[in-house]
Structure 1
Amino acid sequence: MSGNRVSRGRLADVAFAVAVGVVALTAAAFDADTTTVDYALIAVSSAAPAFHRAGPHAPQAVLAVSTVSGSAYVLHAHPGPAASLPVFAAVLLAARAGHRGYAAGASGVFVASYIPTGPTTHDVVERTALLAGWFLCAVVTGMADRNWQAYLRQTEQRALEAERTREEAALRRAGEERLRIARELHDSLTHSISIVKLQAGVAVHLARKRGEEVPPALLAIQDASSEAMRELRSTLEVLRSDEPTGTPALLVERACAAGLSADLQVTGEAGPLPPTLDRAVYRIVQEALTNAARHAGAAKVQVRLAYEKDGLTVTVTDDGTADPSRPPTPGVGLTGMRERVTALAGTLHAGPRAQGGFEVRARLPLGEAG
């Protein structure tokens, strides 16, 4: 599902670039003085916006390529205002990505390239004012769209947080109810079954002491009460247990079923882990996948479990939209993850990667700490 979203986004970018290029090339075709070099400059300036999602610094690169190519075309061919459409699109996309300073600077450079093209001062002022208004509109529109998208993401995040809070409250109430049932069973059934077992045992002992044959029904009662006591103890242990019911592989499977592109890689010799360590690994993977689903967008997630002689390394990476220049503010999930790792004498790194995306890497030692 996430792969389909990425493909649709790339197709939309290509379609947008093609539409811009068709308009710009059509406008240039009406000018008899347009040369092959001019067409090449228009093509480069129009094609650049198709790559604005290629990486964290792609909007600036697209803006630079489009502005330089467009300005060179203007200085060489002296076209009309329609030639500004590719640069206009690049400015809009850069402002939408949050680079308003670069967008404003590129707008000024491109508008300045039009100044020598007017036959009279009045034409120069009129054309400059027109283009300045267009590019100011592009910057403002891009910023407004960015703010709107941020508002939508914030609203979605609040809805997810509210849903998560409701789920946690429901789980807490369910846990409390399990404990209440466990106490009731312990206080009532355990006592009653113990009395039955005790009386049956005493009756069997007295019968054998007197040399009498023990009635089969009495032996059945003794065996049944012992079995009932064992089953009741097992039930109480289940009711009182708060261990996670699942594995990292199951978490990855659930994430894929929910639409996240994720896979699991296990290296080393996997073996049974101490309960505390096993629970920590489960919670770390669970929280990392939850954060990736919320914040990474249409990204691919890789979960790696590296088993070693003296420890276990849990790594969860994605190729999402995280930017190294804007580290996230640790929330409740990351804080709880760090507390779990610290309690096990481990180390945790959680932050954006230099090549883009986000990484959670926890090193957990085996032994007494685990």
Structure 2
Amino acid sequence: MRRDLPYALSGLALGGLLLANAALAPDAAAIGALDVALVLAMAVALAVCRRYPAVALGVVTVAMLALHVRVHPGVSAAFPALAAVYVAAWRGQRVAAVVASLVFLGGFLARDVAVTPTGRPGQLIVERTALLLGWFVAANVAGLVARQRRAYLEQVEQRAIDAERTREEVALRRAGEERLRIARDLHDSLTHSISVIKVQAGIAVHLARKRGEEPSATLLAIQEASSAAMRELRVTLDVLRSPADEDRLGLARVDELAARTRAVGVPVQVTVTGAVGDLPAEVDQAGYRVVQEALTNVARHAGPATAHVHVEYAPAQLAVSVTDDGRGSPAQPMTPGVGLRGMRERVTGLGGTLHAAADDNGFTVRATFPLHTPAPTQRPREVQPAQSATDRDGADRREEPA
């Protein structure tokens, strides 16, 4: 209805113009009730001409011809017909627009010829007819041009939508192909190497037990770590091959990480506080990876140390921290390596913050993830920690696990 309001107002304005012109024109007849009804019918028809162009065009043409025959308001009777012709041509009713134009011109000319006094020069009739003919031709052409322009704009818009959809499909296809390539490379290289380690460790354990000896704790830790690495690698390969796969690593398996770290001789304490609830898959997996990386670094670089894992659930955020009492000094700056950069990218990519620094009591890694808030569209610029610790070789203490 709101889109029809301009047409209704135009009809009322043209009706007022017709009545005023008929009242002021010296050669116009007196206005009667039927004439007012014809003007009102024209106004109603123009109000609905956008939805019913052919019907409205017929009503306006007949009403204006009847008004011209009865009152003779002059060329102003053609204005509503011109508007209806334009709208009909714009809405695709080209034949109806042409027929209505010819009917109105023929009726207008016939009435002028019929009432022209004998001997009166016909130049006025010819000029008026030529003027109306030009107006109606212009109205038809303008309506066709407007329709073609609208069709062109719709076509351009549709092409833009199709192009955007095509770009998204191409990007998704390329991302899928890249995931498959990475999965193949990991399977062909890393899986083979880990499998060899697992098999060799298993053989060593078997031979030791066959000789009646108890396998060393280090050998058992290697066997367990290789088995766990194979399981995690299979999960990673499944995710790469099927992005919708929901079987992902999460904080529910932190106890397994702690057990594997204890197996290599590092005491680990795990504390969970708060109400454990469902986490977004990305946050759950990122928290697990932060704990995994931090415990790996403790085992590799902290020396004789005890690690403490704290997982804190809160309504608005999740916080995971790993602290150790190993080697560390805030006086020695640290150059971030691949492991720390990877942790920071995981955390900041989900809108969280990461703190990794040494103090007088050891080293602390703490990550916080906001819950129930959208992740940022762009990854924040990496902020270097102010102070941290460097291992004995001068490299980043927090390297990626082997």
Place the TM-score, normalised by the shorter chain, in its bin: 0.5 to 0.7
- Correspondence for 1:9: 3
- Correspondence for 1:44: 41
Q: Give the alignment of 1:149-168 within 5 angstroms.
A: 149-168=150-169
Q: Give the alignment of 1:127-142 within 5 angstroms.
A: 127-142=128-143
Q: Give the alignment of 1:164-175 within 5 angstroms.
A: 164-175=165-176
Are the equivalent residues in 2 in contact too, given 1:74–1:113 (CA < 8 A)? no
Q: CA deviation at 1:141?
A: 0.8
Are the equivalent residues in 2 in contact too, given 1:24–1:86 (CA < 8 A)? no
In the alignment, structure 1 residue 72 sits paired with structure 2 residue 66 = yes
Taking structure 2 as the reference length, the TM-score comes to: 0.53
Larger radius of gyration: 2
Q: Residues 235-257 of structure 1: CA distance to partner in whole angstroms, max 9, x if unpaired? A: 22232237799xxxxxxxxxxxx
Q: CA deviation at 1:182?
A: 1.3
- Correspondence for 1:234: 235
Q: CA deviation at 1:84?
A: 1.6
Q: Give the alignment of 1:110-259 within 5 angstroms.
A: 110-118=104-112, 119-120=115-116, 121-241=122-242
Aligned counterpart for 1:24 among listed residues 11, 15, 18: 18
1:196–1:184 distance in 2 versus 1, CA, 3 Å: same
Q: Distance in 2 between matches of 1:123 and 1:134?
A: 17
- Correspondence for 2:96: 102
Q: Distance in 2 between matches of 1:26 and 1:91?
A: 23
Q: Distance in 2 between matches of 1:225 and 1:46?
A: 85
Q: Residues 67-96 of structure 1: CA distance to partner in whole angstroms, max 9, x if unpaired? A: 222222222222211122111111001111
1:234–1:53 distance in 2 versus 1, CA, 3 Å: farther
Q: CA deviation at 1:170?
A: 2.3
In the alignment, structure 1 residue 59 sits paired with structure 2 residue 53 = yes
Q: CA deviation at 1:36?
A: 2.2
Q: CA deviation at 1:12?
A: 3.6
**Alignment coverage as a number of residue pairs:** 236
The one-letter code of the counterpart of 1:51 is V
- Correspondence for 2:385: none
The one-letter code of the counterpart of 1:60 is A
1:23–1:206 distance in 2 versus 1, CA, 3 Å: farther
Q: Distance in 2 between matches of 1:105 and 1:43?
A: 23
Q: Residues 196-251 of structure 1: CA distance to partner in whole angstroms, max 9, x if unpaired? A: 22122223323333333344443333333223222222222232237799xxxxxx
Q: CA deviation at 1:25?
A: 4.0
Taking structure 1 as the reference length, the TM-score comes to: 0.57
Bigger fraction of residues in helix: 1
Q: Distance in 1 between matches of 2:64 and 2:241?
A: 70
1:129–1:194 distance in 2 versus 1, CA, 3 Å: same
Q: Residues 36-88 of structure 1: CA distance to partner in whole angstroms, max 9, x if unpaired? A: 2212211221232322343xxx2212212222222222222222111221111
Q: CA deviation at 1:99?
A: 1.7
Q: Distance in 2 between matches of 1:205 and 1:45?
A: 101
Q: Distance in 2 between matches of 1:10 and 1:63?
A: 15
The answer to which structure, 1 or 2, has the higher relative contact order (CA under 8 A, 6+ apart) is 1
Q: Residues 162-189 of structure 1: CA distance to partner in whole angstroms, max 9, x if unpaired? A: 3333333322322222122111111111
Q: Residues 137-165 of structure 1: CA distance to partner in whole angstroms, max 9, x if unpaired? A: 10011111111222222222333333333
Are the equivalent residues in 1 in contact too, given 2:22–2:72 (CA < 8 A)? no
SS of alignment partner, residue 150 of structure 1: helix
**Which consecutive unaligned segments of at least 5 residues does structure 2 have?**
117-121, 247-402
Please identify, of 92-101 and 62-71, the stretch whose mean Cα deviation from structure 2 is larger: 62-71
- Correspondence for 2:87: 93
